[in-house]
Chains A and B, each alone.
Chain A
Amino acid sequence: MSNLSVSNVREFNTQPEGNPLVESPLAWSYRHHPAPRGNGQHAGVVLREKALLGHLVLRGGAIALDEAVRQTLGISLPSKPNALAFDDNGERSIQWISPDEWLVIVPGGEEFALESALRKALGDAHASIVNASGGQTVLTLSGDNAREVLMKSTSYDVHPSAFPVGKGVTTVFAKATVILRRPSETHWELVVRRSFADYCYRWLLDASAEYGIDTQ
């Protein structure tokens, strides 16, 4: 389950083998803040959660990390600020966060194996890999009015000319901080911290109410 790697860092697989109860950060919110009824109207905003994914925070030098990431994930490390890259089937992503920091999101359960493989590939290069899978979740926003909802929520420029597909930023969202990214023409993703998830969710329901919102 855990072992000391070559880099003298303790690896720890936090995923259980059985099937115990598992809850996304929004479990409470779904039960306590039902979405406003659409009264048969067209929903201008569609909100979904990509729950229980694997999140790894990579910190280190770009050259060493790029090598390791290409070996393990088959994607190049995005070197341009605020760039977001996906693998071929769009399930795994790497996002530039800061000059020495990237966020990797993979299907839930892959994170530990990836962490070990990355460490092996990194050898004794100085880097840090931190599993953040329990600490954040991904929300997707789409629909005709998704951009208006973002304009009501963040001071970042979300106009297509300033926020093309393949961009991601860490920015202010209402009174919280989120990672905001644009994986496709139609969809936006928000990576929110677990403890702020309910607040962000309630804010989104409120900001979307005038357009009609569809949640699962």
Chain B
Amino acid sequence: MTQNNRIAAGGRVDRSQVLEFTFNGQRYQGLKGDTLASALLANGVNIVNRSFKYSRARGIVAAGAEEPNAVVQLGARDDTQVPNVRATQQGLYNGLVARSTNGWPNVQRDVMSWVGRLGGGFMPPGFYYKTFMAPASMWMTYEKYIRMGAGLGRAPTESDPDIYDHMHHHCDVMVIGAGPAGLAAALSAARAGARVILCDEQEEMGGSLLDSRETLDGVSASRWVEQTVKELGAMDNVTLLPRTTANGYHDHNFVTLHERRTEHLADTAREAGFPGESRARLHRVRARQVILSSGTHERPLVYANNDLPGNMLAGAISTYIRRYAVVPGNSLVLSTSNDHAYRTALDWKEAGRKVVAIVDARANPDSDLVRQARDNGIRVITGSAVIEARGGQRVTGARVCAIDLDRFVVTGKIEELECDTIASSGGYSPVIHLSSHTGTRPVWNEELLGFVPGKVKGMHAAGGVAGHYALSETLADGARAGRQAALESGFNDAQEIVLPATRARRDAPACALYQVPHEKSALRAPKQFVDLQNDVTAAGIEVATREGFESIEHVKRYTALGFGTDQGKLGNINGMAIAARCLDRSIPEVGTTVFRPNYTPVTFGAIVGRHCGELFDPERYTALHEWHVENGAEFEDVGQWKRPWYFPRMVNGKKETMHEAVARECLAVREGVGILDASTLGKIDIQGPDAREFLGRVYTNKWAKLDVGRVRYGLMCKDDGMLMDDGTTSCLGENHFLMTTTTGGAAGVLEWLELWHQTEWPELQVYFNSVTDHWATMTVTGPDARKLLSELTDLDLDKEQFKFMDWRDATVADVPARIFRISFTGELAFEINVQANYAMHVWKKLFEHGEKYNLTPYGTETMHVLRAEKGLIIVGQDTDGSVTPEDLGMQWAIGYDKPFPWIGKRALSRPDTRRQDRKQFVGLKPKDPSVVLEEGAQIVFDGKQSIPMDMKGHVTSSYYSASLKHGFALAVVMGGHERMGQTVYIPMTDGTVHEAEIVSPVFIDPKGARQHV
């Protein structure tokens, strides 16, 4: 196909660079500088999609972000699919492949259109809700078929080969939109020295100036754009971001921008010649001042069949002609309520095509542009409007009639005009979306017939968005806003800039025309579309108001007005005007719906940025990580830490299962010696004369008499009396303690200590510092631990000299080490702490000497089994924020008689925490020794009770014990401490019911003899 609609000269396209592209399987040619939309129009492609609900043929309507129909599926391969791209915003590149998002089997012959045609009258708003509501269970089935016929693009099924990233910015002045107001504002602020960011969503900066008929300083407006962009680009304090849409305007002038970096060049960054670079970038801008110069969207008129291909916005047609050198038809009828749209007829005529008539709704239009049109021999029909478009796949004619706006009726004889294109303009709607994101309500301006942005602190609306439509005013308003923003950012000598001269033009006021009356009522006339993307008609809004939906928010949700990628850019004001007419209210009384981020769709990749794959979340490593990897460890995530879970070995050419490895590791610790990397445990250094007093207030137990050189286990409660963390704390000096916390609780405990110190007890002289990362901790444990360690340390390990719950400074493998005789396994254990940079050396030395003792590395799973055999809890596994120390049977660790009331004490005297039937911590011994109960399983007292059973507790930890040779569990059971020896039942989902005996949670060495050796 050739580019029949391309004009021979003019426009901003490069005729020397012909680009090939494919749309719906058909090959076409376009030019460098085209958008996909302009290239399609150049090739005379009428139908670009099928509508959402009625499957009506749709063509391109607009030239920018407001395009409702030309929403395409982009991408040549499955991994490069991008859904819902607006063809008007997609720069054309060689090899571009796009498809319509809707239309099955294709847009030319669409099956669903028959549904729309036959059933159209029977598909009022709420059709799907009303028709497919019963039986409810069938909705999923209906939905599948409804979706096949309707809906927008599809997500890719393969992973994206491109990357996306983020960039943070701070600036004095963020200018959104580089049209005349934005450019003048940026220039004004930048010359004052402010840090300026200027973004614009189009392929080129300049906005309306790129297709304006007007001149600046006597030369074409686009020349001034070039000069200005060049000046701004050369300034150090200016960041220019073309092809960048401001999508969200959040609190405190935080603006999110989406920059298209390579997607206008090729399918992937690699194919675009930028391998490894991001395809799109999300800029997160924190601005002192924001200048909103987002301009306006032209409002289409609502007349019958206004959705046929060939119905377009007047301004869009001018853009296609002047900017892209594409004239999208042969004969034009223009229906307008204002002067500005007249330029479209002039542009059309200059492009050498036929203007059939301008139909002006005003009775006596008389101004510069009207005269110019008449002087050019264009027929102007006044006091009238296009009431209906004729045609099937494309407009073939327009029905024109005189209208009475006050009575909302047609008055004269209907005239039929032959044409293939109808341009309409019902005025201009300021693009208030971004200001609305902040929560401010837009304000109706009766003179403009539009909403303008409400007040936002630190925001200056400038130019078209503020209702300044004449070019001279737009420029002046932009320059004023730029200077004002600079002044408010502290640039006190911001000067007024000299603006280019414009030619004064006299415009007459527009009239208020939204829905055009028809000779039939809205319900009987051919469909008059308000929201093209969501197939919302004037009749639909009328029905909604009649059915009692009076709030515009309800009308929106009932009809889908303003949904989808469109977000009401074209339809909202017309919809509100129709609702206002039906409800006999004014537009400001009806009000607007709320616009929310994002302004246009943002690809998920850009939201994620580089926080994906291996950079999804920090992985924290200990100093011994490399050794663990080299020795085949399987890892477990504990918070952000990677901890060795178990170390499977090859046995007879087969890798051990977790069960086998854990059984072996457990026996090694119970019978020989094992080693654990315990570096992840939280460690907090506490210094100060009141350190001991502070400990007494945050722990439940007593700290007054802990001697230097000794270690004590402590429980920490929240103020509700529930256990929050546990660990050992050592007295290093009279004013110096080292606290350990759980791995996951480390940061929280430090914050907790700081919180209480800073807010409640600032008079206590004490400081806390995390030393978690400074120390590496290696636990050597098992009956042979002493023999092994004695080979490497200068410390006297004699049990009388270095007792259980002692710590000493020493050296291990010639490295200074602090050794703690504490045990989480129930065996003889030494926790060796060395400065982390020397950890690998010490660890390797231990293995050199440990070989003869079969020193066995073990991971968290073995650690869990070993501690459970000893009935030692893990906070967060055996407790869940609803367990008190007393529930755990740890009365021995509660100092009710301490002089200062520690955190949680009062809560422990509440009747609820003193109940005897609270869930209490016990051991469970399954009757069948081979059974390992499921963690989380519910416990009942009567295994034969019918469902719903009375749940009396649950299993918190459960393992197989290689030492005991049977399964065992820890659990919380109501009144469990008084139920020792009783049988409980654990019913499973498959119907089996396990029996278990309530026993002491300490399964091995209840007297603690093994750790005291």
Contact = CB atoms under 8 A, between A and B. Distances in A.
Given A14-B816, A135-B836, 15 more contacts: A4-B708, A7-B687, A9-B733, A10-B732, A10-B809, A28-B621, A100-B767, A131-B771, A131-B774, A134-B835, A152-B165, A194-B774, A194-B836, A195-B620, A195-B622
Interface string A173-188: 0111000000000000
Contact of B837 (A7, A133, A176): A133
B814 A25 contact: no
Contacts of B626: 27-28, 31-32
Nearest to A193: B773
A17 B838 CA distance: 12
B76 interface: no
A195 B689 contact: no
Given A23-B840, A202-B614, A16 B815 contact: yes
Contacts of B769: 57, 59, 128, 130, 132
Determine chain B's interface SS by DSSP, over half rule. Answer: mixed
Given A10-B736, A174-B611, A128 B836 contact: no
Given A21-B844, A199-B618, A135 B733 contact: no
A15 B836 contact: no
Given A8-B736, A9-B736, A126 B689 contact: yes
Contacts of B837: 22-25, 52, 133-134
A59 B767 contact: yes
A202 B615 contact: yes
A176 B610 contact: no
Nearest to B641: A195
Contacts of B906: none
B818 A22 contact: no
B688 A154 contact: no
Nearest to B168: A155
A9 B765 CA distance: 14
Nearest to A60: B767
B776 interface: yes
15 contacts: A8-B734, A8-B736, A10-B732, A15-B816, A15-B835, A20-B815, A21-B840, A23-B623, A28-B626, A57-B769, A152-B165, A155-B168, A157-B170, A175-B618, A195-B641
B814 A1 contact: no
Contacts of B621: 28, 195, 198
Interface in B644-686: 680, 685
B167 interface: yes
5 smallest beta-carbon distances between A and B, as pairs = A135-B773, A135-B774, A128-B767, A14-B835, A195-B620
A151 B734 CA distance: 47
A60 B621 CA distance: 31
Interface residues of B, number: 64
Contact of A151 (B169, B689, B813, B818): B169
Contacts, number: 177
Interface in A169-216: 174-176, 193-196, 198-199, 202-203, 206-207, 209-210
A207 B618 contact: no
A30 to B, nearest CB: 11
A161 B615 contact: no
Interface string B797-828: 00000000000010101111010000000000
A90 interface: no
Nearest to A136: B773
B776 A134 contact: yes
A10 B618 CA distance: 34
A20 B685 contact: no
B195 interface: yes
B554 to A, nearest CB: 39
Interface string B732-748: 11111000000000000
Interface in A94-147: 100, 126-136
Interface of A: 1-2, 4-5, 7-10, 12-18, 20-25, 27-28, 31-32, 52, 57, 59-60, 100, 126-136, 148, 151-152, 154-157, 159, 161-162, 174-176, 193-196, 198-199, 202-203, 206-207, 209-210
Contacts of B581: none
Contacts of A152: 165-168, 610
A126 B688 contact: yes
B447 interface: no
Contacts of B733: 4-5, 8-10
B276 A16 contact: no
Nearest to B734: A8
Contact of B816 (A1, A24, A198, A207): A1
Nearest to A19: B814
B688 A21 contact: no
Contacts of B617: 175
B773 A151 contact: no
Contacts of A196: 618, 620
For B685, B767, B771, B815, which residue has the most chain A Cβ atoms within 10 angstroms?
B767
B772 interface: yes
A152 B622 CA distance: 27
Contacts of B776: 134
Contacts of A134: 623, 773-776, 835-838
A12 B818 contact: yes
B168 A161 contact: no
Nearest to B731: A10
A25 B623 contact: yes
A173 to B, nearest CB: 10
A155 B284 CA distance: 8
Given A22-B837, A210-B276, A203 B620 contact: no
Nearest to A148: B167
B32 interface: no
Contacts of B736: 8-10
B234 to A, nearest CB: 18
B76 to A, nearest CB: 24
A161 B773 contact: no
A22 to B, nearest CB: 5
Interface string B841-864: 110100000000000000000000
Contact of A207 (B610, B625, B734, B839): B610
A86 B920 CA distance: 58
Contacts of A10: 708, 732-733, 736, 809
A213 B828 CA distance: 50
B719 interface: no
A33 to B, nearest CB: 10
B834 interface: yes
A16 B732 CA distance: 20
B236 to A, nearest CB: 10
B615 A21 contact: no
Nearest to A137: B837
Contact of A13 (B165, B689, B813, B816): B816
B295 to A, nearest CB: 29
Contacts of B934: none
B374 to A, nearest CB: 56
A175 B622 CA distance: 18
A154 B170 CA distance: 11
Given A9-B736, A21-B841, A193-B773, A14 B623 contact: no
A151 B286 CA distance: 12
A28 B620 CA distance: 12
B284 A199 contact: no
A18 B841 CA distance: 12
A151 B277 CA distance: 16
Contacts of A206: 610, 615
Contacts of B811: 1, 16
B160 interface: no
